[in-house]
């Protein structure tokens, strides 16, 4: 089974704090999205996108669409960088 930690050139960074605690504090729909994400997203990145969308009055479906677009952009960038 391929996971979100598969072959990617996206730089991995060590995180300060408690990433699992941050994950647990996310709403269920964001935790589900993170569990299915193609790239290794941090809970903080996901929360930042969610809060920005929420401030604009976006629904949960809009937030998920925004996360999908951000992931597609990151994947396109990953494919364009030289190995």
User: Using an 8 Å Cβ cutoff, are 47 and 38 in contact?
Assistant: no
Tokens coding 72: 């597609």
**How does pLDDT run across 14-43, given as a tens digit for each residue?**
666 787 888 999 999 999 999 999 988 889
Please tell me the distance from the alpha carbon of residue 63 to that of residue 49, in angstroms, as a whole number: 8
pTM above threshold 0.85: no
């Amino acid at each position: 089974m391929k996971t979100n930690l598969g072959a990617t050139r996206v730089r991995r960074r060590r995180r300060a704090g408690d990433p699992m605690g941050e994950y647990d504090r996310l709403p269920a729909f964001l935790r589900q999205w993170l569990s299915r994400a193609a790239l290794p997203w941090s809970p903080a990145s996901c929360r930042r996108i969610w809060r920005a969308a929420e401030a604009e009055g976006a629904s949960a479906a809009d937030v998920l669409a925004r996360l999908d677009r951000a992931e597609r952009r990151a994947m396109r960038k990953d494919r364009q960088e030289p190995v």
